[in-house]
Structure 1
Amino acid sequence: MRAVDFFDPAVGGGSMLDNAGAGGGEPLNVIISGLSSADVLSDTGIVNYARAIGFSTECFGVHLGDPQSANLGDGNGFVNQTIELRQDFGDPDVGTCLESLVGGNHFRVYRQNGPTANSGALFLARSQSHTIAPNGYNVGRDRLSSSAIGTKSFGSVTYTTVGKNLTGLLLPGATGVNHGIATDGITTLLTVTIN
């Protein structure tokens, strides 16, 4: 177990917006706490947890679009996303092919593990639809949170997730946000425990 939920990226010169390329960023509007069970915070663990809440790896392992990067203020500077997970429409094997074609929920994962702020927390950039629907960042965050909170299981692993909303990390509004879509400034913190 880590000692903290996460470190505020801004304190270490980072940002709660990733770098999406074209001058804007997607909000890192969900954080999986560093106080979560250690196995959840590993690369294989986050994939299994994602499958428990309706997401999976990309269609046949093929990534559409360029990876994005984020600076979590942990001393690592800008680092490419660890993984991108997509809504699986009820089929963890091939359901993400449909998401890649028609859009839906997806999230990018960034790990805060640098030498100056090693919380182990996972910062998620959440959005809804490839074209980013109006209010899509808020909607994507809320849908992921509602799918996650409570008790879920996959692959013989059972998870209990509790969540709380935080303000003060993200600025409300559209300044610096990809596609110019305003956010409400809320970040949801999820703490995930393996039962």
Structure 2
Amino acid sequence: MGKWAVIYSSVTGNTRQIAEAIAEQAGDADLFRVQDAPHDLSGYEVVAVGYWLRLGRPDPMSLKYLAGVKNATVLFFQTHGALPDSEHAITSFARAGYALGEGCEILGTFGCQGKINPALLERRKQSGPDDPHGGPESMERWKKAASHPDAKDIAEAKAFVDSMKKKLVMKRRFMAKMQAKQDALRAGKTQE
């Protein structure tokens, strides 16, 4: 396995916790805050980028960084106050993918809830009836999010890394098999 770059943006510590778990499980990994991350990622087999959500997409610093990630095998991890299988959480992965530079392949995605920034939570509590983030349903979700990431989330992030490593191995095997077939076809044509 090659080296991983694990790059994250975090305000409340949620995404940092997941980033640390991913880097630990990856083994040979460098861990960077997004503002300190290198622009040359050519020495890494996998570039894992983690962020918190703002307006249904990665936070502004992460969006800016993603545009400079080019020709890389990327995985995304995100933390948010939404439910992990919600439309909000799922479409944010697509928005992160749209932000990537050219030539990238998205290997996989991981998301979990995380506690909401206390200042934002206070503003949301004061929101009016037309705010889509207000009301009793949201308050229940906020309460649930306040206990995340938890030990289960950390374990799932580590299991995600293991599944991505397995995916890389399977991909390498498949590509080697395809290359061998192409080489055999070429060799057969040159002998004719």
Task: Settle same-fold status: TM greater than 0.5.
Answer: no
As a proportion of its length, which structure holds more helix? 2
As a proportion of its length, which structure holds more strand? 1
Greater RCO, CA 8 A, separation 6+:
1
TM-score when normalising by structure 2: 0.28
Structure possessing the higher radius of gyration over alpha carbons: 2
